[in-house]
Amino acid sequence: MSVADRVRIEEVTLLSDDWYVLKKTRFQWRRRDGRWQSMSRETYDRGNGAVILLHDAQRQTVVLTRQFRFPAFVNGHDGLMIEAAAGLLDQASAEERIRAEAEEETGYRVGSARKVFEAYMSPGSVTEKLHFFIAPYSCASRVGEGGGVESEGEDIEVLELPLAEALRMVETGDIVDGKTIMLLQYAALHLAGRPAAAGA
């Protein structure tokens, strides 16, 4: 039996369609013992997204961004968020969108990007699925200043850090963004100490 066979949608109410879409849904869920249980959940749909970690294997450095995030601020984070470059897909393919987003935010033009995994970041309330990428970069691949798109409220600082320092910043709480921590840990497991492949 598929999960779809265990869900019966009864009513969907649109709560907000301002920035993104917030809905409340009443449904029946078939439990493991076969009984149907009435439930109600709110879902926030902002579309799917992609995130990328730029990594220089020769120098063992990474490129991250630093910017203000209002939701984190109202939840007690009194600082700017350090993150890997990311953005919503907006009807584009994940790789196409993340190449453009990386250049907008960091100023680095991405050559060969490699998708490493997908993940739902907050499946209890947010529908978004993220596509995670890594890509090599070098000083020669920087074609602009980055900083994001001002008309969209972006005011992004570009950071280049040793991978080891970025990992320490996870331990100290200076990096608290989930998607960034996941990519840094991936880099620690799979990229740290490895020379760049020929042609990368």
Span 164-185, pLDDT tens digits: 999 999 999 999 999 999 999 9
**165 and 76, same structural domain?**
yes
First to last CA, the chain: 45
**145 and 58, same structural domain?**
yes
**166 and 67, same structural domain?**
yes
pTM beyond 0.85: the answer is: yes
Residue 193, pLDDT above cutoff 70: no
Q: For the domain that residue 150 is a member of, what is the CATH number?
A: 3.90.79.10
**161 and 91, same structural domain?**
yes
Which residues constitute the domain of residue 11? 3-45
**56 and 37, same structural domain?**
no
Residue recorded with tokens 């042609």? 199
Q: How far apart are CA 154 and CA 43, in angstroms?
A: 26
Angle, alpha carbons 91-125-105 (nearest 5°) = 45
* pLDDT tens track for 13-72: 999 999 899 999 999 999 999 999 999 999 999 999 999 999 999 999 999 999 999 999
**82 and 10, same structural domain?**
no
Per DSSP, 194 falls in state P
| CA-wise closest residue to 65 among 185, 180, 184 | 180
- Give the model's confidence band at 94: pLDDT under 50 very low, under 70 low, under 90 confident, else very high: very high
